[in-house]
A and B are shown apart, each in its own frame.
Chain A
Amino acid sequence: MRYSGLRVIKEALTGHKGWTPQWRNPEAKKHYDVIIIGGGGHGLATAYYLAKVHGVTNVAVLEKGYIGGGNVGRNTTIIRSNYLLDGNEPFYELSLKLWENLEQDFNYNAMVSQRGILNLFHTDAQRDAARRRGNAMILNGSDAELLDQDGVRAMYPFMDFENARFPIKGGLLHRRGGTVRHDAVAWGYARGADMRGVDIIQNCEVTGFKIEDGKCLGVETTKGFIGANKVASCVAGSSSRVMEKAGMRLPIESHVLQAFVSEGLKPLIDGVITFGAGHFYVSQSDKGGLVFGGDLDMYNTYAQRGNLPVVEDVIESGMALIPSLGRVRLLRGWGGVMDMSMDGSPFIDKTHIDGLYFNGGWCYGGFKATPASGWCYAHLLATGNSHEVATEYRLDRFKRGYAIDEKGVGPQPNLH
């Protein structure tokens, strides 16, 4: 069924009796051309682009829980293309371009809103870094504007510009960045993939791989063995747990990142603001809640919940930036588990096992990457070669000395 304004009117006039489920709930077949492990945003996007762009439709997406129940429903919904390094920025720029056309492409309202992202700076050194980053972005086809204090003040007059420790000197504005309704991204990709013949198998946990003579022949699941020509892991947050079943150790640690939402408020923040002197970023949802987050809890964990010291740290940073937040009541806080990689950058690659592919290590930047991750992973699965913007995302890059370390902090996953 194609969605349109006309369709909404027609259904409204006929008692909404014509709507059908957005995807099937099929039984798993014995064998597929491609099995994608993980029905999150990236896995569903991969299935969608495999079917739509490459015509590979004999595909199953295996999901342990229900689709959209993992990190694609837990992030703070921000999209952006504001990276510094050549290994990253072309990839994220492709992603943003796919976001810009996504709703027309998959015929689904994902509420893509390019409301602008403002990265604040508070010192001369940070201004220099922002200028350099902005130039790198522009060189890669993205957009950036350097604002001075007056420029920022005109946008968000309520911030604490003369804070004694962290005065706001200006900001780097990325106008094409913004927010997206994250659940709708999972649903839109799921519907688009399902319409083209992809089987989405929910409540189906992968318990092992069948590997013979260095070739992956399929996966053992809670619903029995399913064979495949190609098996594609796409389970960021749990990558180490899944790939361990194939005997692999990864350059990844799992960490929890917390996020928060306040009670609904009248319109206050029409874009996304990030604090430059502490870990805090904030936007306002269309329902009015302030959506914000901060730093990792810093220790390895698979628990989808964080601890109180980080809550305090996030709120302190928020108060340093926007003192009026002190009157806002917190509605909810939650945590999601991240693949934190050794250089803060992801992987989209084949493994040393024939027919087994790996996508993961997204750190806390996975949501914005969803379309390009699916696009490039589908390209790799269909053609056997890395997509031109994902050539640096190789598993052996540390061995070769080609880490993509945006922050330059070295192999310490919780600092990226």
Chain B
Amino acid sequence: MIINHPILGPRDAQEFTYLGDASLIERPDPQAENADETFHDYVYLRDNPAGEHQELWYHEQGDRSWLVVTRNTLTHEITDVQLARDAARARGRSK
């Protein structure tokens, strides 16, 4: 697989390590009343879709950036790659 890095261009997927579903960006509020419930779901439960999947890849043997890759889990086709920083900001996670 080739991941089209937003800054570095097309890179072999072997340069990256894989973390998992990009929902891991959405860390719940630890101060909330139901934090034990929301953290259980956050840490342990996954949508695990067959089809389009947004996921976190880390460019370990490159520029050490985290990426949000949109990839089809049935065909391995990659349709979108963003810096995780930008994706997190778009979700209102960071300043």
Chain A residues in contact with chain B, CB under 8 A? Answer: 238, 240-241, 244, 249-254, 298-303, 307, 309, 342, 398-399, 411-414
Contacts and interface: CB of A to CB of B under 8 A. Distances in A.
Contacts, number: 68
Contacts of B53: 300
Contact of A252 (B19, B48, B73): B48
Contacts of A299: 13, 18, 55, 71
Given A302-B74, A303-B73, A251 B18 contact: no
Given A252-B46, A301-B76, A398-B43, 16 more contacts: A240-B46, A240-B48, A244-B47, A249-B45, A250-B48, A253-B46, A298-B17, A299-B55, A300-B20, A300-B55, A301-B73, A303-B75, A398-B44, A412-B19, A413-B20, A414-B20
Interface in B42-85: 43-50, 53, 55, 71, 73-76
B8 interface: no
Interface of B is mostly: mixed
A298 B16 CA distance: 11
Contact of A240 (B40, B44, B47, B74): B47
Interface string B5-44: 0000000011001111100000000000000000011011
Nearest to B51: A302
9 contacts: A241-B50, A244-B47, A253-B48, A299-B18, A303-B75, A307-B76, A309-B14, A342-B44, A413-B20
B44 A254 contact: no
Interface of B: 1, 13-14, 17-21, 40-41, 43-50, 53, 55, 71, 73-76
Contacts of B41: 249
B20 A412 contact: yes
A253 B75 CA distance: 16
Contacts of A252: 46, 48
B48 A254 contact: yes
Nearest to A396: B40
Contacts of A238: 50
Given A299-B18, A399-B40, A249 B47 contact: yes
B73 A300 contact: yes
A251 B50 contact: no
A399 B34 CA distance: 13
Contacts of B17: 298
Given A241-B50, A302-B50, A309 B13 contact: yes
A301 B46 CA distance: 13
Given A299-B55, A301-B73, A302-B74, A249 B1 contact: no
Contacts of B55: 299-300
Contact of B74 (A303, A307, A309, A412): A303
A302 B53 CA distance: 11
Nearest to A241: B50
Contact of A249 (B46, B50, B73, B75): B46
B48 A300 contact: yes
8 tightest Cβ-Cβ pairs between the two chains A and B: A240-B48, A249-B45, A251-B44, A398-B44, A302-B50, A299-B18, A309-B14, A298-B18
Q: Taking each of A240, A302, A398, which has the highest tally of chain B beta carbons within 10 Å of its own beta carbon?
A: A302
B89 to A, nearest CB: 24
A299, A302, A303, A307 pick with most chain B CB within 10 angstroms: A299
A51 B34 CA distance: 44
A411 B44 contact: yes
A342 B49 CA distance: 16
Contacts of A240: 46-50
A308 to B, nearest CB: 9
B20 A303 contact: no
Contacts of A298: 17-18
A271 B65 CA distance: 45
